[in-house]
Amino acid sequence: MWRCVRCEPAFGSFGYSPKQRVGGTGESTAGDRTASPLNMHATNPFRPRELALIFMAALLGACGHAQPLSGSQTPGVTVVTVHRTNGPVTIELPGRTNPYYVAQVRARIDGIVIKRDYQEGTDVTAGQCLYQIDPAPYVASLNSARASLQKSQVKLVATRAQAARYKALVAAVSQQDYDNAVSSLGQAEADVESGKALVDSAQISLGYTAVVAPISGRASTSQVTDGAYAQASAATLMSTVQQIDPMYVDLTQSSVDGLQLRRDVASGSVKLNGPNQAPVKLVPEDGTEHGEPAEPAGIGAGIVLDEHLLTSGKRDEDYNGGGEVTFSGERGGPIGRVLDRALAFVDKETCPQQRCTAPGWRVDHALAVGLLIFTPQDLAASDIVYGDRPYASLFFLSAGRRYVAADADVAYNSSLTFGMLGLDAARSVQHALHSLTGSVQPQGWSHQISSGGEPTLRYSAARQALVGEFGQGTLHGDSKWTVAGSLGTVTEGSLAYSVRWGRIQSSWWAFTPEQTMYVQETHPIPPPLGRDAPPEIFVFAGARAKLRVYNAFLQGQFRHSDLTYGWGDVNPALAEVWAGLEFRTSSGWALQYQARWESPELRSGQGSRSFTWGSIQVSKTFH
């Protein structure tokens, strides 16, 4: 009888075969011995039932160390709530960069190349000399042409004198001799013109000995060396100049993927931000991003004139005029940079860090200068008009920022404004304006708020949130909520809703009629439309509720003012509505007109009246 001491399964190419060490405990014809696995498998093989018993015993032994589950323990359950939200659609495509312009530099005359005047692989400018071809033969040709011209000019003088004599003696000479003299004069004049043309041709050929760059760009490897013979008839290629700023990137996408994307857009499962609005990043083979696109630069002017000029109103009071000029991009000069850095410091304390400084968010900049003018109803009165709003003016310099991300449904705007109240220059500006329009000249500027000048400061911040987009195809629209607040010259909080509809191509966050302090807040000009894109045109409207705590144009500041109002005299709750039209082209030009109405700012008296004003804004964005 055999007793199994150890059993280890081993798998081979011939199936399952157990290794075993056995010892004899009974009688055996072979005596006591240890059998190899092969011999044991041949003399005393395991049967399937025995294998099953062995594995069952091993499993029971292993399970004997496990602790039973307690009946009081309850397995944990994790609950996840699924929300439907928008997410960006990212498509990776292989591409190849190509220069914007390519110009081949070829020989235009025959000759020996005596010098190369540029370094291969460097940037050259249009008109820069790249090669010098031996000019000696062409200098000689030019000198020969000049000599021939001089000879023709001398002959012309003699021929002209002879023709003049024959003309004076026409009665004494034969008609044939006179005709020959006139003909010789014409031929001599033609020889002179021909000589001039030969001189010009020789000068052009001599100029071609200096081979210049036809465009500005990066010069490639030279195709000729010093001593090489260049031929105009063979159009010898000497080098190539490529303009790589800007440059093209040619992308390749399969027709299947392209058609599927079109179907997704048509079905609504994928929504576009607008034509030419998808952000593009270039990733070289090493995986590093090429960098953020340059911030678009531009300039815009917003003009607010007397109410009766741009609206249907007949009045000439309240917000009487103003305007601003905005420069978009990081080109504000020393003063603008100081104001922008101050704005950045304040934003750092107020803007959510996970939004404004997170990867994928872009910061655009703007700088504006402008003027605001306010007057009472009776412009002819030189005394203080109690019960009506006082004269007030503000010359200001303002820095603005916009924080946006391509795939976000929120955007942030901020501005920091430094200005001077009460400058007498406002009187001169309005006097000139009313002289042009034939309006009544205001007489009470000596009683304006902070007369003589007083500095003022204002910080504003706004959060835009996209409500939704509606419509399909060419005509569609979008709407948004905007929560804003300001501290300083005008201290208030507001909630606004705005909507637009039409042939829209710009991003929803780029249009901000709800953010104003009588004129448009200082915001970067919207990015340009794509090249060759169709014009953008849309109508817009909106409303805003404001809770105003302080208004320096009515309540004054620290400096004495002849007429101011207290907290109980002004309305803290205000309403504002607007409507307008905007037109924008792919060349970067934009024109906007809007009309606005605001509820009374004073609670009682003659100044307790709503007022309406209109504005025209013109801007130009550079690609």
**Model confidence at 276: pLDDT above 80:** no
**Model confidence at 123: pLDDT above 50:** yes
**Residues 303 and 230 both lie in one domain:** no
Q: Which two tokens stand for residue 269?
A: 């499962």
**Residues 367 and 240 both lie in one domain:** no
Top-confidence residue, 52 or 78: 78
CA atoms within 13 A on the CB side of 51: 10
**Model confidence at 443: pLDDT above 60:** yes
**Residues 557 and 495 both lie in one domain:** yes
Question: Which of the listed residues 210, 231, 246 is the one where a domain comes to its end?
Answer: 246
What distance in Å separates the CA atoms of residue 400 and residue 413, rounded to the nearest whole number? 7
Q: Is residue 141 part of a domain?
A: yes
**Residues 601 and 457 both lie in one domain:** yes
Top-confidence residue, 262 or 499: 499
Q: 611 to each of 464, 575, 576, how far by Cα in Å?
A: 27, 11, 10
What distance in Å separates the CA atoms of residue 218 and residue 99, rounded to the nearest whole number? 10
Q: Is residue 213 part of a domain?
A: yes
Q: Provide DSSP, 384-395.
A: --TTSPPPEEEE
Q: 604 to each of 382, 388, 531, 569, how far by Cα in Å?
A: 22, 9, 54, 7
The average pLDDT across 234-244 equals 92
**Residues 242 and 337 both lie in one domain:** no
CB 602 within 8 A of CB 584: no
Residue 385 is predicted with a pLDDT of 87
Residue 357 is predicted with a pLDDT of 59
pLDDT in tens, 520-566: 788 888 777 776 778 999 999 999 999 999 999 999 999 999 999 99
Q: What single letter denotes the amino acid at residue 594?
A: Q
The domain in which residue 311 lies consists of 297-622
**Model confidence at 510: pLDDT above 90:** no
Our measurement of the distance from residue 59's CA atom to the centroid of its chain's CA atoms, rounded to an integer in Å, reads: 70
Poorest-pLDDT segment among 112-126, 233-247, 527-541:
527-541
**Residues 214 and 331 both lie in one domain:** no
H helices present in 253-388, as ranges: 255-267, 307-310, 333-350, 353-356
Poorest-pLDDT segment among 51-60, 288-297, 322-331, 479-488:
51-60
pLDDT in tens, 131-156: 999 999 999 999 999 999 999 999 89
Q: Is residue 595 part of a domain?
A: yes
Question: Which of the listed residues 208, 228, 246 is the one where a domain comes to its end?
Answer: 246
Q: Is residue 62 part of a domain?
A: no
Top-confidence residue, 30 or 594: 594
Cis-peptide into 246, omega within 30 deg: yes
How many structural domains compose the chain?
3
CB 379 within 8 A of CB 431: no
Angle of CA points 319, 320, 321, to nearest 5°: 100
The average pLDDT across 28-35 equals 37
Mean pLDDT of the chain: 80
**Residues 467 and 352 both lie in one domain:** yes
**Residues 199 and 319 both lie in one domain:** no
Residues 6+ positions from 391 with CB-CB distance below 8 Å: 374, 375, 376, 442, 444, 445, 447, 448, 449
Residue 265 is predicted with a pLDDT of 82
**Residues 324 and 224 both lie in one domain:** no
CATH number of the domain at 306, please.
2.40.128.140
Residues 6+ positions from 215 with CB-CB distance below 8 Å: 101, 103, 126, 241, 243
The average pLDDT across 432-460 equals 88
Question: Against a cut of 0.75, is the pTM above it?
Answer: no
**Residues 50 and 195 both lie in one domain:** no
**Residues 204 and 351 both lie in one domain:** no
Residue 587 is predicted with a pLDDT of 82
Q: Provide DSSP, 524-543.
A: PPPPPPPTTPPPEEEEEEEE
Q: Is residue 340 part of a domain?
A: yes
Most confident of 81-85, 198-202, 605-609: 198-202
Q: Is residue 228 part of a domain?
A: yes
pLDDT in tens, 394-419: 999 999 999 887 677 889 999 999 99
Residue 294 is predicted with a pLDDT of 60
Which secondary-structure segment (H or E) carries 56? helix 48-63
CB 328 within 8 A of CB 400: no
Q: 317 to each of 439, 526, 551, how far by Cα in Å?
A: 11, 32, 17
pLDDT in tens, 304-323: 554 444 444 445 545 556 77
**Residues 119 and 210 both lie in one domain:** yes
Residue 85 is predicted with a pLDDT of 66
